Amino acid sequence: MQTILQVDFLVLVSLWIAPHILALRLIKTGRHRILLSICLISFAFAYLLKPSTSDLPKYSIYFDTGFSPTLPGDYSGRHAVLDPRDRIGTPFRGVFNDPKDLAISAFATLSKILHSTLPTGRILPRLAPLNETPFVSDSSIVAIMIIGVVVLLITLRNILTYSKYIEFNIDSFLTCLVIILGSLFFMIGSQNALRQFLGTVFLLLSLSLTIRSWYIPSLVLMAISALFHPWMIFFALITFPLFLLIQSKYELETTSWAGITRKTWLLIFSFLTGCALVLFLKFGLSWVNNLQIGKWGMVHTYFFSRLQQYVFMEYSGLERIDPIIKCVLISIVIVLSEIIAGQNKHWGRLDFRTTRFSLYLFTLPFIFLPEVFSRIMFVFFAIEILYICWAVCSEQLRYRLAGLTVFLAYGFAPNAINTLVGRGWVYGFG
C-alpha cells in the first residue's frame, strides 16, 4: 500500500480544483482579467508541479533516450539510464518496438526534434504525493502542452468567429485559455495519451478549416492527425459529418419530416448509428477480417489489427473507472447542463448543444466495448471544450451557467485526479 504525502496531495488538488470554483464568477458579465489570470497561474503550477503519472514516464524515457524500455533501468537521476539491451538499434526509429508503424514513426520524428532542440531530462522540482518520483522529461512535455494550447486556441478562434455569436477578444481569449487548461481533455491528453492528444488537436483544427470551406489545408491537417494516431481516421468519419449536418439551431428546429424536427431525427440517427457500429465491431469485425483484406497489408496492419485489439481487450484487469460508472457520471452532467440551458432561442451559425448531445448519444452504446468507449469519450471531451467556451462566452445567463456547471464538474472528475496525482491516491489514505 502506498503512503500518501498529504501536503503534496492537498497542494496539487487545491491548485486544480480552486480555479474551477473561482471560474463560477464568470456567471456575471464584464471583465474578469484578474480572476482569469489567477486561474491560469494556478493551473500552470498544477501542471508543472504534478508528478509524472499514467503513461507519462514511458513517453518521457523515450523523449530522453530515443528508446522505449522493456527492461528495468535507472530512472532516479536527471537522465534515464536504460539497460544496454534496450539500446539496441537506432534511436527514434519508432516507439514500442514497432518502427514500421507510420503513425508511431511520425511521433518519433517529433520526439527526435524535441530531443535535439530542447534540454533533456528532469528540470522542474515536482511534488511526489505518492512518495514516488517517476522519470519525466520536462521540456518535451511542456513543449507538447504548448503545441496543444496554441492549436486549440486557433481552432476556437476559427469556430467561434465563424459562428457569428461570440467576438473573440482578449477577454474571450483568456476565458478559452482557462477552459482549455482546466479541461479533462487537456489534463488526460497532455499528461497521459500524448499521441492521441496531438492527433485530436490537429483533427479539431482540420475540422475548423472545413467549416470555413478551406478544404485543402483541412485535408493536410487531417493527414497530419492520422500520422500521429491511426484512430484519427475513425474519429474524422464521426465528427466531420456531424458538424456538416448540424447547421444553425433555426434550421434544426424549423425543418421537419413526419412531424418530427430535423434535430430530433439527427439525435435518433446518432444513437442508432452508434448501436449499429457496436454490433458490427462486436460480431462483424472478425468476418470482415477473414475476407481477403489481408492482401491490403498496410490497411490490415495499420488499422484493423489495432481495432481488433481494442474491441476484444480484456478490461477487468485495467486500473480504470468502470465504464458504466463513468457513463452515469457523464450523463448526469450532460442532462443537468441541458436542463440549465433550457429552451433558449438565441443561436449562431453553429449549434454547439446539438453537436455535443449527438456525439454523446453516438458514444453511449460503446459502453459494451470499454476500450473503444474510452477513446471515443476522449474525442467527446475535446469537442466539449468548444461547447464550454461557446457557452461561457455567451451573453445568455443560462448558457453561461450551463457551461460553468460542466467546467466545475471537471475539477472533481476522478480521471483528472488520477492523472494529477497518480492512481494510488485512493488507497494512500488507508
Concatenating the DSSP letter of every residue in 228-245 gives H-THHHHHHHHHHHHHHH
Determine the pLDDT at residue 299.
46
Determine the pLDDT at residue 247.
55
| Whole-number Cα distances in Å, 60 to 68, 86, 118, 122, 184 | 9, 15, 13, 9, 21
Name the pTM for this structure.
Answer: 0.87
Strongest mean pLDDT among 48-52, 298-302, 363-367, 407-411: 407-411
pLDDT of 287 strictly over 90: no
**412 domain residue, yes or no:** yes
pLDDT of 395 strictly over 90: no
pLDDT of 61 strictly over 70: yes
Using CB atoms within 10 A of its CB, is residue 61 exposed (0-12), middle (13-18) or buried (19+)? buried
| Whole-number Cα distances in Å, 93 to 44, 73, 99, 118 | 32, 20, 5, 19
**285 domain residue, yes or no:** yes
**Cα separation of 243 and 355, whole Å?**
7
Determine the pLDDT at residue 97.
45
Q: Within its chain, how far is the Cα of 170 from the centroid?
A: 25
Share of the chain above pLDDT 70, in %: 79
**358 domain residue, yes or no:** yes
Domain that holds residue 109: 6-80+87-426
- Asked if residue 313 lies in contact with residue 371, where contact means CB atoms within 8 angstroms, the answer is yes
Strongest mean pLDDT among 17-31, 227-241, 244-258: 17-31
Q: Within its chain, how far is the Cα of 25 from the centroid?
A: 26
Q: What is the DSSP string of 275-302?
A: HHHHHIIIIIHHHHHHSGGGGSHHHIII
pLDDT of 271 strictly over 80: yes
How many CB atoms sit inside 10 A of residue 330's CB? 21
**42 domain residue, yes or no:** yes
pLDDT interval class at 203 (50, 70, 90): very high
Q: Across all residues in the chain, what is the average pLDDT?
A: 81
Residue type, 73: G
The upper half-sphere exposure of residue 139, i.e. CA atoms within 13 Å in the direction of its Cβ, equals 17
pLDDT interval class at 37 (50, 70, 90): very high
Residue type, 226: A
Determine the pLDDT at residue 16.
97
Q: Residue 371: which residues within 8 A CB-CB, separation 6 or more?
A: 310, 311, 313, 315
Determine the pLDDT at residue 284.
66
**1 domain residue, yes or no:** no
pLDDT of 424 strictly over 90: no
The domain tally of the chain equals 1
Phi, psi of 363 (to 5 degrees): -75, -30
The upper half-sphere exposure of residue 32, i.e. CA atoms within 13 Å in the direction of its Cβ, equals 23
| 65's grid cell | 533516450
- Asked if residue 178 lies in contact with residue 19, where contact means CB atoms within 8 angstroms, the answer is yes
pLDDT interval class at 371 (50, 70, 90): confident
**Cα separation of 220 and 238, whole Å?**
18
- Asked if residue 423 lies in contact with residue 318, where contact means CB atoms within 8 angstroms, the answer is no
Determine the pLDDT at residue 308.
58
The upper half-sphere exposure of residue 101, i.e. CA atoms within 13 Å in the direction of its Cβ, equals 21
pLDDT of 250 strictly over 50: no
**64 domain residue, yes or no:** yes
Determine the pLDDT at residue 2.
53
